[in-house]
Amino acid sequence: MMTARQTSSHFPRAITGMAAEQPPARIVIFIGAPGSGKGTQSSLLSSRYDIPCISTGMILRDEAKKNTPVGFRLRQTMASGALVDDQTVCDAVVSRIRDSYEQGKASLILDGFPRTVSQAKRLNDELKALGIPGPLVIHLDVPDHVLLQRLARRRQCATCGAVYNLASKTSKNGARCQFDGGALVERDDDSEGVVARRLTSYRRETLPVIEYFRKNDSANGIYRRIDGNLEATAIASEVCDLMRFADTAMAA
Ligand code: ADP
């Protein structure tokens, strides 16, 4: 249903101030609750290592804007806080992984996928079929009260989707997006009732995925939990340590 394309980062390298490093050939998965910082860390890592990032949330939001039956269905599902069906999401992600692989890029960052055990199994099958090693799974663990606070303060550029927090200087007093001047708006699914439903979906559908990866450690890649309640830069630095660790583990 969706054309193959990769979603780019909202943190241009000039903004992050980091130079591109040699990309290691692997899939990196950021997994965590809504508001845990998956998008922020994916963008930072994507800029630093020059690895493309696939964000299922962004792909689905783009698709939901279209005036088509699929767009209408996606709008309804996402606005309710429920997960989109596995088939739709898997087809979209798998086609992008294949495209990227065919273009000679085996490394990818996945933000927001897999979110159900069935999606994790489909990914596993796909990576095996392509001969791509097991993923580096980074679990961003954040307490519920912090998630709720972050989501209530989150704003997004209506034009480019860059993410802001009302607590920071750049987004106060009717500020506009620093990249393109777009208005900063609340995401439809960040309202209180919808957030509660998203957290319920996370506990029911995605915590088992974390368990799936945790148990498969070494046989199916590497799983690590990171304290997601730190400064974004401190987390990014831990992520880079993990990338180096994964390089060494793969070479051994
Ligand atoms: P968050 O992680 O903060 O919930 P995202 O932007 O990643 O936000 O996702 C927004 C919405 O897109 C989700 O609430 C869900 O409806 C849908 N979605 C994203 N990724 C998936 C997925 N892997 N499987 C099913 N639905 C998804």
Average pLDDT along the chain: 86
Structurally, how many domains does the chain consist of? 2
Q: Residue 25 above 90 pLDDT?
A: no
Q: Token pair for residue 170?
A: 């750049």
Our mutation pick for probing the ligand 1 site, out of 55, 198, 204, counting the most ligand atoms within 8 A of Cβ, is 198
pLDDT the model gives residue 96: 93
Contact 144, 151 (CB under 8 A): no
Q: Which residue puts its alpha carbon closest to atom 15 of ligand 1? A: 83
HEC string for 167-220: CCHHHCCCCECCCCCCEEECCHHHCHHHHHHHHHHHHHHHHHHHHHHHHCCECC
Query: Across residues 135-140, what is the average pLDDT?
Result: 96
pLDDT the model gives residue 7: 38
Query: Across residues 79-83, what is the average pLDDT?
Result: 93
**Rounded to the nearest 5°, which phi and psi values hold at 131?**
75, 25
**Do 138 and 179 lie in a common domain?**
yes
Q: Residue 17 above 60 pLDDT?
A: no
Is 199 domain-assigned?
yes
Q: Residue 5 above 60 pLDDT?
A: no
* Distance between Cα 201 and ligand 1 center (Å): 10
**Do 100 and 115 lie in a common domain?**
no
Q: CATH number for the domain including 28?
A: 3.40.50.300
Q: Token pair for residue 209?
A: 């995925």
Of the listed ranges 12-16, 24-28, 105-109, 242-246, the least confidently predicted one is 12-16
Q: Which atom of ligand 1 is nearest the CA belonging to 114?
A: 23
Domain hosting 23: range is 4-52+107-245
Q: Which residues contact 209 (CB under 8 A, 6 or more apart)?
A: 31, 114, 115, 116, 117, 119, 120
Stated pTM of the model: 0.86
Rg (CA), the chain: 17
Contact 249, 134 (CB under 8 A): no
Q: Which amino acid is at 41?
A: Q
Q: Active-site residues: which are they? A: 38, 115, 154, 187, 198
Percent of the chain's residues with pLDDT above 90:
64
pLDDT the model gives residue 252: 67
**Do 30 and 84 lie in a common domain?**
no
**Rounded to the nearest 5°, which phi and psi values hold at 231?**
-60, 145
pLDDT the model gives residue 3: 36
pLDDT: is 247 or 224 the higher one? Answer: 224
Is 119 domain-assigned?
yes
**Do 26 and 63 lie in a common domain?**
no
Is 252 domain-assigned?
no
Q: Residue 164 above 90 pLDDT?
A: no
**Do 73 and 181 lie in a common domain?**
no
pLDDT the model gives residue 12: 36
Closest CA to 37 of 244, 234, 175: 234
Is 250 domain-assigned?
no
**Do 216 and 163 lie in a common domain?**
yes
pLDDT: is 59 or 13 the higher one? Answer: 59
pLDDT the model gives residue 136: 95
**Do 163 and 181 lie in a common domain?**
yes
Query: Across residues 45-51, what is the average pLDDT?
Result: 93
pLDDT the model gives residue 248: 81
pLDDT tens-digit readout, 204-238: 999 999 999 998 755 568 999 999 999 999 999 99
**Sign of the C-alpha dihedral computed for residues 105, 109, 115 and 117 taken in this order:** positive
Of the listed ranges 81-95, 131-145, 171-185, the least confidently predicted one is 171-185
Query: Across residues 57-62, what is the average pLDDT?
Result: 92
**Rounded to the nearest 5°, which phi and psi values hold at 193?**
-65, -40
* Distance between Cα 251 and ligand 1 center (Å): 34
